[in-house]
Chains A and B, each alone.
Chain A
């Protein structure tokens, strides 16, 4: 674990709720300017990890450091450097959006004059500008989520801890939030976020941590997670005219087998370490020579969903 470069580190952290062990000796680090996707089944320990990270839970064992300061002892010094959006985001219903953000901004040490331009700026970025004077109780679920994100971004934190930030958002809003997260990463902000929507994690995360039953099963880039299980690449071909010769492709070096998944759709399974360029060229050449017509041809990269199921097991909802 590279202590020097890490913005936050967990070392052998355990946490129990009574007899239930929520975290069991987990260790990982968050690197500066990365987006860390955190996935796992319900009750795996994601929220507990995040609460420890922001100082909401203090009775744990192990070492947690953020920006070189240990938690929870130094959490007072860290409040302004960390932004947090909890899983169940809620505001006092009588507040307007502006009032809620003013309160949280002031509590984060920001001045009212600064907030008078910062609040519209953040709301504009999130597409909530028109709701600035609306009461929180009149916001939709997705808008409340965005307000939750707004209060976390308000003080320009170095570390953003987001517990299911896109839950309940429409597709457009999810794309918007993902774009904001990428923008924050480009500005050097470290983001850790959990989500059950694995395609979102796959879209934005630089590294992914998979946790289950309080144990960190694996951490790595999507490629590293794929390599760990030796998940092979596949090539999918769609034939507009099938001459029935595609079975012969299995004899090409590097191709493990070929199967028709749907009428006219052929999937070529490549051997581990196969020369993909050679196998692809050879397959296409043979198909054309034997009278097939090819509509499309593309590699199939295993999705995070597939990898997740391999790590956590079938039947474990992300």
Chain B
């Protein structure tokens, strides 16, 4: 019961936050602007594909930063003690946060892709069925990377002593770790996107499990 409640609760907090509004509006706008001001992209790459690039390069980092900074901040302030004196499983606090941020960032990614698709469709350059299938595979790979980065950010949030250390670890640790999800593509495994999803799921679960164990041992 407490996981669904914590998820709904955190979701309320995140989707109303200014960062999310900026992300939901900002990411599609950024894709549009960057695509527009890069003359060599026009004709070479559709906005949909370009939006996918923006999503995969930005969304994971943003999700990770939000999670780790949020946890460090709340940990430092002592927010969790009010939860922990109630019948709430510690893992529910972490998993609720993870799923809430993942949902919000995934929604931002989908919005960005949909805007790209709509603009391309209006311009008559929408990707064909085959290209669309490739895009879907890329999206699966991208979401897998976001999940890995977010799970690593949860762990960083728990162990990092300060926001600064947390952000550095997210940039140089969590972000780099998400590359593991792309290994099947680099190694030429087929179908790469399926391997990537599998690796992403396993790595995310392992990182979350470690986070829960560390969080359970923490005293507040």
Assess whether B13 is in contact with A94, with CB atoms less than 8 Å apart: yes
The segment out of B38-46, B79-87, B152-160 that lies at the interface is B79-87
Q: Known: A104-B82, A107-B83, A107-B86. Is A92-B13 also a contact (CB below 8 A)?
A: yes
A57 close to chain B: CB less than 8 A: yes
Select from chain A the residue with minimum beta-carbon distance to B77: A90
Q: Known: A95-B13, A106-B5. Is A56-B84 also a contact (CB below 8 A)?
A: yes
Select from chain B the residue with minimum beta-carbon distance to A106: B5
Select from chain B the residue with minimum beta-carbon distance to A99: B12
Select from chain B the residue with minimum beta-carbon distance to A161: B85
Measured between alpha carbons, how far is A82 from B78 in the docked complex, in Å? Answer: 19
Measured between alpha carbons, how far is A108 from B85 in the docked complex, in Å? Answer: 9
A91 close to chain B: CB less than 8 A: yes
Interface size on A, residues (CB 8 A): 27
Assess whether B82 is in contact with A88, with CB atoms less than 8 Å apart: no
Q: Known: A90-B78, A90-B79. Is A82-B13 also a contact (CB below 8 A)?
A: no
Q: In angstroms, how far is the closest chain B Cβ from the Cβ of A164?
A: 13
**Interface 1/0 per residue, B1-21 and A, CB below 8 Å:** 010010001001100110000
Assess whether B79 is in contact with A94, with CB atoms less than 8 Å apart: no
A171 close to chain B: CB less than 8 A: no
Measured between alpha carbons, how far is A92 from B87 in the docked complex, in Å? Answer: 19
Measured between alpha carbons, how far is A80 from B13 in the docked complex, in Å? Answer: 25
A314 close to chain B: CB less than 8 A: no
B134 close to chain A: CB less than 8 A: no
**Interface 1/0 per residue, B192-220 and A, CB below 8 Å:** 00000000000000000000000000011
Interface residues of B in 108-149 (CB under 8 A from A): none
Q: Known: A86-B78, A107-B2. Is A56-B220 also a contact (CB below 8 A)?
A: yes
Contact pick for B219, options A57, A80, A86, A88, CB 8 Å: A57
Interface set of A (CB-CB < 8 Å, partner B)? 51, 54-57, 59, 76, 79-80, 82, 84, 86, 88-92, 94-95, 99, 103-104, 106-109, 151
Name 17 A/B residue pairs within 8 A (Cβ), A-sorted: A54-B85, A56-B81, A56-B84, A56-B85, A57-B219, A59-B219, A79-B85, A84-B81, A84-B82, A86-B81, A88-B77, A89-B78, A90-B78, A92-B13, A106-B5, A107-B87, A109-B87
